[in-house]
Amino acid sequence: MKRDLYQAFKRWEYDSSTHEAVITQYDLPEVRVFDPMDLFSFSDEDLKILYHNPIQCDMSSKIKIEAKLYMRVVARYLSMRYEVKMIKKRLAGLE
């Protein structure tokens, strides 16, 4: 699901009261993500924006751990995309 965050992205933070990641954008409604796995539905460009702008959260250690789950999903997705790209490159070299 393309969100086009790269055009209006402001920041994202972890809301400890609702246990959601909240993505704030300029002049657009905020996007709330309850399940970190829902980030897999975002586009590559959107996930790159989220990766390069770490999620903001309270300093409580429990809250930090929960917020890092969202960052871990984003990092894993980008890592998988890179691995797929390298596999395709190797396979193309075999032809």
Q: Global pTM?
A: 0.80
Q: Is 56 left (phi over 0), alpha (psi -120 to 50) or beta?
A: beta
Contact 12, 56 (CB under 8 A): yes
What pLDDT does residue 1 have?
54
For residue 86, is pLDDT > 80?
yes
Closest CA to 23 of 87, 78, 74: 74
- pLDDT, mean over the chain: 87
Using the structure block, give the residue that is written with the tokens 């829902």. 38
Confidence bin at 28 (pLDDT 50/70/90): confident
d(CA 51, CA 72): 9
| Total structural domains within the chain | 1
In the predicted model, what is the mean pLDDT of residues 2-20? 84
**Containing structural domain, residue 53:** 5-94
In the predicted model, what is the mean pLDDT of residues 19-33? 90
Encoded tokens for 10: 């402001």
